Amino acid sequence: MTTDVSPTPTFEAGLEVRKAVLGAEHVERSLANVSEFSRPVQELVTEYCWGAVWTRPGLERKTRSLINLAMLTALNRGHELSVHVKGAITNGCTREEIQEVLLQTAIYVGVPASLESFRIAERTLNEMDENA
């Protein structure tokens, strides 16, 4: 990913956290495949989501991961859910904790959304097992 401006310290911190949570290979692939059209949103996500929020001291990464799983279920964002299931495992979440979060979403955001997230999470976890 090329940029016309120098990365800020917040961007650099965000890039470091993003790679630590999602895996350097995943992040580097995402950034390498960015188009000029989508470059600004990748920069925004890296700087503000990962750099300004994920680096804050108020919550552990594990907790942030569990919150993301619930929100992504509520928003029905399957691709991002799969990415964050992997990140949740990286951040020390157990399969049981992931399962519990998805069960709770059934009550608060709806059974269909929870069922879909269970399918995505199970597929992602099985793929992770196969690639381990």
* pLDDT tens readout for residues 77-92: 999 999 999 999 999 9
Contacts of residue 66, defined as CB under 8 A and 6 or more positions apart, other chains included, come to: 88, 93, 97, 98, 101
Res. 2: pLDDT tops 90: no
**Tokens (6 digits) for 131:** 């690639």
- The domains of the chain, with CATH numbers, are 9-53 (no CATH), 61-131 (1.20.1290.10)
pLDDT reading at 1 higher than 60: no
Q: How far apart are CA 16 and CA 39, in angstroms?
A: 18
pLDDT digits over 12-55, tens only? 999 999 999 999 999 999 999 999 999 999 999 999 999 999 99
Can you give the pLDDT at residue 6?
76
Q: Residue 132 — very low, low, confident or very high, per pLDDT cuts 50/70/90?
A: confident
> What's residue 5's pLDDT?
63
